[in-house]
Amino acid sequence: MTPAIDAHVRLDTHPTHPSAVQAVLTGSQAHVALMALEAADWSAAADNILVLARIDHEEPYWAADAAKHLIAEGITVEITPRLQEAIDEEWTWANYPMPWCTRSQIREVSNQAQKIHDDIRNGQLLIHAHAHDGHTTVAVGTYLHRGGKSVYLHGEDHLRQIADTFDSPAKALLAFEKAHAAEMSPGPAPLTDTERAAIEARSVFGVTTAKSEPSRPEPETVPVYRADAGDHDALLDTFLDAHSEFEKWRTWSDDTTHAIHESQTLRIERVHETPAHETAWTVAAYETPVSDRMWVLTATGATPAPVLQNLLIHLADGDGWDTVISAPVDEKMVTAATQPLSDAGWKHTVDGRWIRWASPDRDAGVQFDAFTAQHPIQNLATWTIWAGPGPDRPNWTITASPQTPCSLLTDLTKTLAHETGTHQAQPADREQCFAVPPPTAQAVTGGLSASRRR
């Protein structure tokens, strides 16, 4: 017999959301139940309250499934009569596009869509671009786990599916652009009503104690230069798995990984466990395997993952990184490299030897040093890309030497000017929060034909 655990879980319907479920935990070992529910994708909403809010409106079913597992672990579970009624309720989707599916098959399709949604929400699936194909939303992205596969997504909410897979982000983006060039937009699509309702359901409860488990706030879509750094090591591993032309080796101290192109003329160095403001990446190109550097680029530890990902894609494409630039950088090259910034309305100023471009909110910029540009034999930082409170207090920086290829710089500035990423907002100061719910969220039925708790 499984020994009893001093934990009690009371499962009930959510106070505002039409299908979500809340769990109230009590007992000296309530943390055991909390960990079990969080592993099943319940979200901590207060120090003793968790919420299950899904995009497929199957919360009662999965709440009953969670109850079975908790009971098997020796945890006492109480299900309120109104939740039990919802669990027992039979319902179908109105106008479901796959009418040949049984109820269990529909639930499986919906659960796969939920997993895709959760991977995007948790930053495990990075969305590069989206479009509307005339019927629904489509998107292309890359997993930062699962072998780093890139995927083509079709549909929204409980109907979203993986329609195709690719070996690399470059191949996926090329196919996506070929099919949806006219409607294509960078980053993830705007949240649907169902997704917004799920977010609201998780935020109804206030947090009253600093001892509670941290909640997991929803990531917000931001300009790419404000995006989170993400997992740089996973990013490099995914890149190397997709590009066999690079050979990987790690130093004996295990603190640095080197990726060397088969030509021996392009080398990427990744220093692990690097503080946010210190150099974590160094990319260097050589005319021959035994010559001096042609150019060098560095990036600090907090550089956003989408920026680094686009840089790696450019290097893998081999677009001119091995081109020898014999003449000093001139005005034509500078104009070409920064044209995406000008097109996006970034402010352009000249201050002596410095030419600068600043984002509309002045929280990111690009700086060109005209003096060092005239010394192509030196690996000086001619270009500096930054984001943060100011150029003297950046959150992250990228620097590049005089002979860095114009095409690479143009790709970087295009990324800064037009692409988006995700930022995980930090939880509010819990000691200052009070249990005051926000305005009641509107019920979103999502096409349910039964009258499930309207």
Helices 305-317 and 232-242 sit at what angle, rounded to 10 degrees?
Answer: 20
Instruction: Give residue 272's region: left, alpha or beta (phi > 0; psi -120 to 50).
Output: beta
**CB of 157 closer than 8 Å to CB of 53:** no
d(CA 254, CA 99): 54
pLDDT at 356 over 70: yes
d(CA 127, CA 142): 7
pLDDT at 205 over 90: no
pLDDT at 448 over 70: no
pLDDT digits (tens, 9 = 90+) for 18-32: 889 999 999 999 999
Domain ranges of the chain: 1-91, 103-196, 232-424
Confidence label for 320 from pLDDT (cuts 50, 70 and 90): low
- Amino acid letter, residue 362: R
pLDDT digits (tens, 9 = 90+) for 253-282: 568 899 999 888 999 999 998 888 899 999
From first CA to last CA, the distance across the chain in angstroms is 41
Dihedral sign (CA 69, 71, 77, 82): positive
